[in-house]
Structure 1
Amino acid sequence: MFVHMVLEGVADSALGVGLDVVGTAAELIDAGLTPLPPGTRGLRQRVVSLDGRPVRSAAGRTVAVDGAFSLRGLRKGDVVVLPGMFAASGRTVAKLLAREDIQRAADLLAKAAAKGVMLAASCSATFVLAASGLLEGRTATTTWWLAPQFARMFPRVSLSADLMVVDAGDILTAGSALAHADLMLALVARLAGPSVAHLVTRYLVLDERPSQARYMVMEHLRVSDPGLRAVERFIAQNIGRQLSLDELSRVAAVSPRTLARRVHASLGVTPHELVQRIRVSRAAHLLETTHASVDEIAAQVGYADAAAFRRVFRRFAGESPRRRRGPATQTNTWT
């Protein structure tokens, strides 16, 4: 049983795609187009709110529910899915977590986990899971622009913000609202088998997106710390050469150890990873706006070894580097 727990401000797209993925999987199974593994139950789903009343979505629409969330009705093997609520900034998240219904939801999720129920959340809902204490000592992901806030608020969670979905056993987390599709496919694969999830992917024309790093914009990771802003500018201005930690720390006017601590606290990465991300971000821009080859771009962003550049790019962008289109100066003529 998939139990979609919806809270005030739920993202319409996340809830919709969650229902579509499970519903499509169930229909394909019922039609005999894909078999269930032996001993696997059929796929069913419900939409619930905390009190059984309709909730207002992020788009201001009324979301009808099938009833109230009940711990008594849950059993091992069920999945409680928490679609995200859109949050544009860390300030929005702080207001979100201060809400009484959010605090109650976090408490109920902890109790559900104690019953052996699988939990899953995407986007800002990952903060609700973290607030429950269930993610401490585990690896998780969240929506990419809130990663620094997540790292500051929950330092005991190992954050892998580059990943679209993190499977930590009985708890799964995903990135931004539309990463909810990837989350649901991972859950369907777990409960009904990979072949079912793969067929759903084909029927709904969903791309495989193992990473959300290609969507990251460095400007969203900028902080008020003037030392770190200076370091980012310095890296961008010297992107074609090797940079040492000592050199970066001198730019920030702090010790290497202090710089490493401040970068991790503000951005959730190491100084070396920050350099790599800025290089990958520049490389991605060049791949989309120039005709330069991958090897030429590798050299422009500081990699003498093109093979090493490809490995780093795949790690942070989740795909191999390739040119996507011609120069930005090219325009279309409409008649």
Structure 2
Amino acid sequence: MHDFTILALDDAYASSLAATLDILVAARALAPRLGVPVPRWRLCAPEPGLVRLQGGMQVEATRLPVRARDDRSTWVLPGLGLNTTAAITQRLARPDTAALARRIARHVQGGGRVVASCSSVFLLQPAGLLAGRRATTSWWHAPLLQRLAPGCTVDADRMVCADGPITTAGAAFAQTDLMLHLLRAHGGAALADAVSRMLLIDGRQAQAPYIVAEVLANGDSLVAQLAARVEAALPNPPSVAALAEAFCMSERTLSRRIRQATGKSTLALVQSVRLRRARALLEGSRMTVDQVAEAVGYQDATALRRLMKKVAGANPSRYRPATMAAACDDGIAAPARQPG
């Protein structure tokens, strides 16, 4: 019996598939030392033979059994390199995609679990597995997934979403977060933590700190103008009412336009711009957290910490370079660098 079935699909990110296998190999080496179950897996594809990955690399996989009995393994779909709406639409229209979706649906109906990251999450929609569930995907694909799966709650801010037999993750390198999540469920926190330390990877709770509103909007000029206006006005961001007036529309119309383009409310979009600026200041300046909070319009560092913890799943210190973290987060300006 296998714990995991890794599906090698054509056009999958080579890094996403490789990270999946590397993490499992590390877990297999560490599990006996920790006294936890050793993970077992197989690498399969809908058709046997060489699978061509994104960028031209190839990997050999065995055939995925058509009707495997008592297969309770977790099927793992590494991220696909589908970076445009057209590419996703074309992939979903392919006959082999429809056939795979039926097999995924049967696997879940038979008691199995399925996990997917990045644009592989879109394969779960024709399988009928997203309706009524919460899911995530690459943050810039979230509005498209919401349109294709209106019955799904698409949460672009999250790195990993687990809902029943389905677990989804964000953009391609969120595959590492997804695999750590699976290892935690399989062998406990000790195994996931040991693999994380061995491979020098950190589990991240959210995509929110990485979201660029203008990219999320997929070219919508209104969103780009709104984000620029908010950032230019910091530390005094305009209210939603002021933004609506500036763009000569009602608050309701503005909200509808923003939600259609990004899947977020106007207020959430304003908040994301402020958090993005806060992160940039934390990473690239010697300002204290209190000073950063003031620069983006929060009354104190407590408000910024609370918001970053809620939205990004991390405290401001997470974004500090290691050499500055202690001094800056204690409210003491870091010493200037010495020349030479």
**Above 0.5 in TM-score?**
yes
1:209 and 1:46 map into 2 onto residues whose CA distance is 26
Structure 2, unpaired ranges of 5+: 325-335
For residue 58 of structure 2, what is the amino acid of its counterpart? T
Q: Does 1:246 align with 2:241?
A: yes
Q: Deviations over 1:158-180 (max 9, x none)?
A: 11212211111311111122211
The Cα shift of 1:331 comes to 11
The Cα shift of 1:212 comes to 2.2
Partner of 1:52: 48
Structure 1, unpaired ranges of 5+: none
1:187-198 equivalence runs, <5 A? 187-198=182-193
1:206 and 1:148 map into 2 onto residues whose CA distance is 29
Question: 1:276·1:312 contact (CA, 8 Å) conserved in 2?
Answer: no
Partner of 1:12: 14
1:290 and 1:205 map into 2 onto residues whose CA distance is 25
Distance change >3 Å, CA 223–CA 49, structure 1 → 2: closer
Percent identity of equivalent pairs: 34
Question: 1:228·1:252 contact (CA, 8 Å) conserved in 2?
Answer: no
2:158 to 157, 160, 163: 163
- Report the secondary structure of 2:90's partner residue: helix
2:75 and 2:167 map into 1 onto residues whose CA distance is 10
- Report the secondary structure of 1:60's partner residue: coil
For residue 13 of structure 1, what is the amino acid of its counterpart? S
- Report the secondary structure of 2:33's partner residue: coil
Q: Does 1:292 align with 2:287?
A: yes
The Cα shift of 1:216 comes to 2.4
1:331 and 1:253 map into 2 onto residues whose CA distance is 48
1:185 to 180, 196, 200: 180
- Report the secondary structure of 1:124's partner residue: helix
Q: Deviations over 1:235-270 (max 9, x none)?
A: 222232253322222233332222222222210111
2:193 and 2:136 map into 1 onto residues whose CA distance is 23
1:282-321 equivalence runs, <5 A? 282-321=277-316
1:1-335 equivalence runs, <5 A? 1=2, 2-29=4-31, 32-36=32-36, 42-65=38-61, 67-73=62-68, 75=70, 77-322=72-317, 323-324=320-321
Distance change >3 Å, CA 225–CA 211, structure 1 → 2: closer
Query: What is the TM-score when the length of structure 1 is the normalising length?
Result: 0.88
Query: What is the TM-score when the length of structure 2 is the normalising length?
Result: 0.87
For residue 200 of structure 1, what is the amino acid of its counterpart? V
- Report the secondary structure of 1:132's partner residue: coil
1:144 and 1:13 map into 2 onto residues whose CA distance is 18
The Cα shift of 1:113 comes to 0.8
1:250 and 1:227 map into 2 onto residues whose CA distance is 13
